[in-house]
């Protein structure tokens, strides 16, 4: 009787593992970064002007106007949510860098992405630039806050 129970358990575990493998289980991860101010402005037609500022060393070390998240080869999509300390909706330009230095614009979000943004394979960095502009009829005036990114693979 004991061998039958063990054999049945082993078969159940193997069947479960096989179905998970066949279904292509997706990996997920959640990353949060803090942003300080904006150095980019976006027009209504999606044109972005500006950049970010990275200061290394000294009393004001930090990243201003953008955040970076190192991508993993398994990352396929990213959902983004920005929370400004003022409670206002914040607009952001979202980009992906490649290892060759090229930059691809993935979209502009207002507060959060309305759908997951598709990432190009090959890793690189996800760059989120809180920006001055408008979200609907409301102004986007980033001060400081959090960018939360949910990756799926």
For residue 127, give the nearest of 50, 27, 44 by alpha carbon.
50
pTM score, whole prediction: 0.75
Split at pLDDT 50, 70, 90, the class of 94 is very high
Residue 7 has pLDDT above 60, yes or no: no
What sign for the dihedral angle of Cα 81, 86, 87, 88? negative
Residue with tokens 């230095």: 101
Chain-centroid distance, C-alpha 18: 31
Mean pLDDT of 102-131: 92
Helix (H, G, I), strand (E, B) or coil at 16: helix
Split at pLDDT 50, 70, 90, the class of 41 is confident
**Cα–Cα distance measured from residue 78 to residue 90, given in angstroms and rounded to the nearest whole number:** 18
Residue that wins the pLDDT comparison between 61 and 126 = 126
The pLDDT tens digits of the residues spanning 71-82 come to 999 999 999 999
- Return the structure tokens found at 145: 């806050």
| pLDDT for 142 | 93
Q: How many residues are given for the chain?
A: 153
- Cβ neighbors of 45 (< 8 A, separation 6 or more) are none
**Cα–Cα distance measured from residue 81 to residue 108, given in angstroms and rounded to the nearest whole number:** 12
| pLDDT for 66 | 86
Q: Is 27-152 in CATH node 2.60.40?
A: no
Residue with tokens 């979000």: 109
**Residue 11, H or E segment:** helix 2-23
Residue 42 has pLDDT above 80, yes or no: no
Would you say 33 and 130 are in contact if contact means Cβ atoms under 8 Å apart?
Answer: no
């Amino acid at each position: 009787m004991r061998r039958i129970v063990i054999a049945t358990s082993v078969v159940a575990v193997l069947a479960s593992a096989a179905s998970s493998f066949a279904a292509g289980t997706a990996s997920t991860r959640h990353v949060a970064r803090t942003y300080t101010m904006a150095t980019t402005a976006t027009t209504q037609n999606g044109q972005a002007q500006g950049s970010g500022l990275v200061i290394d060393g000294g009393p004001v070390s930090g990243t201003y106007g953008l955040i970076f998240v190192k991508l993993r080869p398994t990352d396929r999509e990213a959902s983004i949510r920005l929370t400004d300390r003022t409670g206002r909706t914040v607009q952001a330009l979202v980009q992906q860098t490649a290892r060759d230095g090229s930059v691809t614009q993935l979209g502009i979000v207002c507060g959060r992405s309305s759908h997951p943004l598709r990432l190009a394979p090959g890793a690189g960095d996800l760059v989120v630039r809180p920006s001055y502009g408008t979200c609907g009829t409301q102004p986007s005036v980033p001060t400081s806050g959090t960018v939360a990114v949910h990756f799926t693979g």
